[in-house]
Amino acid sequence: MPLTTTQSRPVQLPTLVLCLVAAAVIWLLNALNKNNYTVSVQYPIEFVYNQKLYVPTSPLPKTITVSITGNGWKLFRKSWLPFRSQPIRYPVPHPLETRFINTTSLAAALTDHAKDVRVNFIAGDTLALNFDRLAVQEAPIVIDSAGIDLADRMVVSSFINVSPRSIRFEGPARLLRAMPDTIKVKIPARRLALSYDEELRLPIPRHPLIRASADQVAVSFEVAELLQPLPLPPAPQPEKPVKTTKAAKPKKSVKGKSSRKK
């Protein structure tokens, strides 16, 4: 009687992968249905202050780290999609006097804002606030006409046009105190023999918190050849000594003695 051998059926890899994925999904769904999970999430925050009067001197945090407890599905949504939530609005009524975020009031606002979870605490990183008064300063733009390098027998034959004639700075008052009162622009061209019309970069300090109304200036003027030398100014004449005349002394009037007839 012939012996028969049973051959083992090969394992189908795609079927095994699908089984593992299905098991993982079922486990995840069961886990997310449970309550009392605690996670730390990044929650968006928006600071409310008078932007026409004050400016932050250090970057304001866009998110805060919050420890929350709640249902697995709700925590999953807030952990993976935090920026689809409406940001919490944090008012700063007195920016110059506020140095830190009040975590107690912020936690209370978060509790009212996110009612589907329980807020445990707010992490203590990036909680410092720095504000300064928003100031405006204007500085005129002048051209270093004495430093224009002209070719031989060439002179500036027109008015030097400058546009704009002044620049406006806006930023923290403390930083604006270090800005120059006048912006002096030098003409970089050498041995000029033709009319000049260029846009030059303004030599101003650059700072991320200071906004300038312009970063370039347009400068134009005419250059012409000097056909005859300029007349020399007249030499100063030596001053002549002024003769002083002595005032004549008034003559004393002699009173005659009147003779009386006897």
Q: Are 168 and 136 in contact (CB under 8 A)?
A: yes
Which of the pair, 183 or 1, is modelled with greater confidence? 183
- 51: amino acid identity, one letter: Q
pLDDT at 42 over 50: yes
The pLDDT score that the predictor gives to residue 111 is 78
Is 90 exceeded by the pLDDT of residue 56?
Answer: yes
| Residue 229 C-beta-side C-alpha neighbours within 13 Å | 3
Average pLDDT over every residue of 87-116: 85
Of 25-29, 60-64, 122-126, 227-231, the range with the highest mean pLDDT is 60-64
String of DSSP letters for the chain: -----PPPPPP-HHHHHHHHHHHHHHHHHHHHT---EEEEEEEEEEEE--TTTEEESSPPPSEEEEEEEE-HHHHHHHHH-GGGSPPEEEE-S-GGG--B--HHHHHHHHHHH-TTSEEEEE-SSS-B--EEEEEEEEEEEEE-GGG--B-TTEEE-S--EEESSEEEEEEEHHHHTTS-SSEEE-----SB-S-EEEEEE------TT-EES-SEEEEEE-EEE-SSPPPPPPPPPPPPPPPPPPPPPPPPPPPPPPPPP-
For the residues 225-232, what does the mean pLDDT come to?
70
Listed ranges 4-13, 28-37, 114-123, 185-194; the one with the highest mean pLDDT: 185-194
Q: CA-CA distance, 216 to 209, in Å (whole number)? A: 19
Q: What does the pLDDT average to over 27-42?
A: 64
Examine the pLDDT at 246 and tell me if it is beyond 80: no
H or E element, residue 218: strand 216-221
Residue type, 238: P
Mean pLDDT for the chain? 79
Percent of the chain with pLDDT over 90: 41
pLDDT on residue 258: 45
The 10s digit of each residue's pLDDT in 63-90 is: 888 877 766 566 656 555 554 567 888 9
168-227: pLDDT as tens digits: 999 999 999 989 999 999 999 999 999 999 999 999 988 999 999 999 999 999 999 887
Per the document, the length of the chain is: 262
The model scores a pTM over 0.85? no
> 156-167, pLDDT tens digit by residue?
999 999 999 999
